[in-house]
Amino acid sequence: MEIITVANNKGGVGKTMQAYQLACHLANKGSRVLVIDLDSQANMSSTLGVQIQRTLIPEWLIGDVALEDVVVPAEGVHECIKNISLIPASRQLANLAKLFILSEGEIRKEAGRKERLLRKRLEEAKDMFDYVVMDTPPMLGDELIMALVASDRVLIPTQAQDYSIDGLEELMDTFEIIKETENPGLEFTIIPSMVNNRRKIERQRLEELKMSFNCAPPIGNRVQMQESISLSKPMFKMPLKSKGRQEYDALWEFLNI
Ligand SMILES: Nc1ncnc2c1ncn2[C@@H]1O[C@H](COP(=O)(O)OP(=O)(O)OP(=O)(O)O)[C@@H](O)[C@H]1O
Ligand SMILES: [Mg+2]
């Protein structure tokens, strides 16, 4: 089972988009995919056709609720969806911090540190899925740190138009600390996202990005992509000649998945 997290503490950079396309791509190839929505905005859950009143993610993490009780099938018209299971989010994810404080003693006994809880829960599920894809919120909180501790790779969508290499370097420093202390196998890839190639400044920044980081082929800013999310129609369902589909095919090839 390979665990992949999509993360960036900056909002609106295309995290949910990449996580959705990745999950659908893997499911379309026949893999059993578990998607975990760790963002209380629950955008990934609604794109996968699921809206719930109250998420049980906090209770699952501390071991009060079993995996079967938090996982639901994804909903949608496309064939690939049947291979996707989802742990949906809701606003109650905000209770996570509170529950962690209340359960501090048990967490210490079970996992040593709260950051390791998700890794522990996923170890228990390792024979049930081929891939886990996690969407994370736009902040460096418990959800994101737990996801990074549990993951094999992290994909970092980054906008070329207004990213600052300084900001990204700061984020990468945090990721490096996690790699050094908790998860030596963690691999990072930057995915330039919503790139407008007609703008010179964006092309220049892309080049700078490529020089500083392990950088995947870019995903352009395309109306078609917005429609993909709003209509829950994965990019591989778009015509072969469509630019967006070609960009995603190039991305999967680069990532070797
Ligand atoms: N390549 C793209 N081309 C055009 N629009 C895009 C592209 N990728 C994402 N979008 C649109 O940009 C908006 C933000 O994307 P998305 O929700 O994936 O970002 P996010 O990083 O998950 O945001 P948040 O931090 O709020 O969770 C959405 O409306 C989405 O449809
Ligand atoms: Mg999102």
CA-proximal residue: ligand 1, atom 6 (nearest): 226
Ligand 1 nearest atom to the CA of residue 220, by list position:
1
Question: Atom 15, ligand 1: which residue's CA is nearest?
Answer: 14
Give the tokens for residue 98. 């509170």
16 close to ligand 1 (CB < 6 Angstrom): yes
At what angle are helices 223-230 and 15-28 packed, to 10 degrees? 70
Instruction: Show Cβ contacts of residue 1 under 8 Å, excluding neighbours closer than 6 positions.
Output: 122, 125, 126, 127, 129, 130, 131, 132
Q: In order along the chain (257 residues), what is the average pLDDT of each group of 10 residues?
A: 96 95 98 98 97 95 95 96 98 87 88 92 96 96 95 94 71 92 96 91 89 93 90 92 96 97
pLDDT of residue 163: 56
Q: Residue 162's pLDDT is what? A: 60
Q: Are strands 131-135 and 2-6 parallel, antiparallel or unpaired?
A: parallel
Distance between CA atoms of residues 2 and 27, nearest Å? 13
* Dist. CA 8 → ligand 2 center (Å): 10
* pLDDT score recorded for residue 212: 86
Atom of ligand 1 nearest to the CA of 8: 21
Residue 217 has a pLDDT of 95
> Which domains occur in the chain, in start order?
2-255 (3.40.50.300)
